[in-house]
């Protein structure tokens, strides 16, 4: 049985990764300090092949865990408002987290899978964004995007000096259940409703469920994303783990279907207010909100046989039901 150390296991994407691995015969040791949401329960907690170590990764991992590989998913992160409010703290903390994780891999000669972000393409102007094209675009302008790019260089540098095998994963706009507002996230009003978590899908659902009409959106609504279900992202990561093609390379893990915020809003509205007319009010957006993201996913298709399977409509249904149940 392959044993995996998963940092950030109790987070939003981390929980999806843990459950996918456990469901496919892996043993998972999670590391988390509950810093993002506070103490939350996750589906993997009761699984017999899951063990959680509560530890803050700004400190080194001192215990030898005898794992076959490490997935580096831990990070200080929130929504857009969060990573501009805490720009320096986010940069400094996340560099310490990846350095301590990488140090463990170097000490024990352990392969690492690094979770980067689509934000490394923040300054992209030519689409779709390909892995090989990253070196040709300017660096990200946000501290979060720049830090994620730095995480990738940690992995590449560890290979150059210590021959630690790596795989870099760039998820695009994960959607699904279990996302909540980060502790310390700024309180922001959007119309008469407070933003839940600075993530667009649950915020739109929350506004409509609370009766906001017209629905207030940030910006003009033409911001374009590729909303990818957490189950698909987790499966893509597992396929990368299992593929002989994935050593010392990088992958965009995403759906290829792009959707504007207005299109997403219409999908949500039609599910919650069928037959009623949608009215929209625009408001000033975030200064650093990236207007367009579209990945080239052909490398993941060719190397890993990965394609996203869960439609945005099904993802929206899933999140609506979760939010109704969890208030």
- pLDDT attached to residue 196: 54
- pLDDT attached to residue 185: 46
Question: pLDDT band at residue 201, thresholds of 50, 70 and 90?
Answer: very high
Q: Of the ranges 24-38, 69-83, 203-217, 295-309, which one carries the lowest mean pLDDT score?
A: 69-83
Q: Of the ranges 54-58, 164-168, 237-241, 286-290, which one carries the lowest mean pLDDT score?
A: 286-290
Identify the structural domains of the chain with CATH numbers, from first to last.
Answer: 3-174+229-254+294-308 (3.40.50.720)
Contacts of 129 (CB under 8 A, 6+ apart): 118, 121, 252, 293, 294, 295, 296
Whole-angstrom distance, CA of residue 267 vs CA of residue 210: 17
The answer to whether the CB of 165 falls within 8 A of the CB of 110 is no
Alpha helices in 174-253 (DSSP H): 200-209, 230-242
This model's pTM is above 0.85? yes
Please determine, for residue 38, whether its predicted confidence score (pLDDT) is greater than 90: no
Instruction: Show the tokens assigned to 141.
Output: 């302008």
The closest alpha carbon to 101, from 35, 39, 170, 151, belongs to 151
Question: pLDDT band at residue 198, thresholds of 50, 70 and 90?
Answer: low
DSSP conformation letters of 268-312: HHHHHSTTSPP-EEEE---TT--SB--B--HHHHHHH-----S-H
Q: 3-state class of 218 per DSSP?
A: strand
Which pLDDT tens digit goes with each residue over 278-314?
Answer: 999 999 877 778 899 999 999 999 999 999 999 999 9
Beta bridge partners of 253: 171
Q: What angle do CA 17, 233, 101 make, to 5 degrees?
A: 50
Q: Of the ranges 107-111, 174-178, 225-229, 295-299, which one carries the lowest mean pLDDT score?
A: 174-178
- pLDDT attached to residue 18: 98
Instruction: Show the tokens assigned to 218.
Output: 């940030």
Which pLDDT tens digit goes with each residue over 126-185?
Answer: 999 999 999 999 999 988 899 999 999 999 999 999 999 999 999 999 999 987 654 544
Secondary element (H or E) of residue 259: strand 259-260
Whole-angstrom distance, CA of residue 176 vs CA of residue 12: 8
């Amino acid at each position: 049985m392959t044993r995996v150390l998963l940092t950030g296991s109790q987070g939003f994407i981390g929980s999806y990764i843990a459950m996918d691995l456990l469901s496919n015969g892996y043993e998972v040791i999670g590391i988390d300090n509950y810093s993002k949401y506070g103490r939350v329960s996750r589906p993997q907690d009761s699984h017999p092949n899951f063990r959680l170590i509560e530890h803050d990764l700004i400190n080194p991992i001192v215990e030898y865990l005898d794992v076959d590989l490490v997935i580096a998913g831990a990070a200080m992160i929130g929504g857009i408002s969060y990573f501009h409010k805490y720009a320096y703290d986010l940069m400094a903390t996340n560099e310490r987290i990846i350095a301590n994780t990488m140090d463990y891999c170097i000490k024990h000669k352990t392969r690492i899978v690094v979770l980067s972000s689509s934000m490394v393409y923040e300054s992209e102007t030519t689409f779709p964004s390909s892995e090989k094209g990253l070196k040709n675009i300017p660096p990200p302008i946000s501290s979060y995007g720049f830090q994620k790019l730095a995480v990738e260089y940690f992995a590449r540098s560890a290979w150059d000096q210590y021959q630690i095998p790596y795989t870099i994963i760039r998820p695009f706009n994960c959607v699904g259940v279990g996302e909540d507002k980060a502790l310390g996230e700024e309180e922001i009003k959007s119309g008469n409703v407070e933003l839940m978590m600075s993530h667009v899908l649950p915020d739109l659902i929350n506004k409509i469920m609370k009766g906001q009409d017209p629905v207030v959106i940030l910006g003009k609504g033409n911001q374009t994303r590729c909303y990818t279900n957490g189950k698909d992202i987790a499966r893509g990561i597992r396929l990368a783990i299992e593929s002989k093609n994935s050593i010392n390379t990088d992958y965009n893990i995403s759906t290829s279907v792009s959707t504007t915020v207005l299109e997403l809003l219409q999908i949500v509205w039609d599910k919650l207010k069928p037959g009623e007319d949608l009215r929209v009010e625009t408001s000033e957006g975030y200064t650093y909100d990236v207007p367009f993201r579209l990945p080239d996913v052909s490398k993941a298709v060719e190397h890993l046989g990965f394609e996203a399977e869960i439609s945005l409509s099904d993802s929206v249904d899933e999140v609506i039901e979760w939010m109704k149940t969890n208030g």
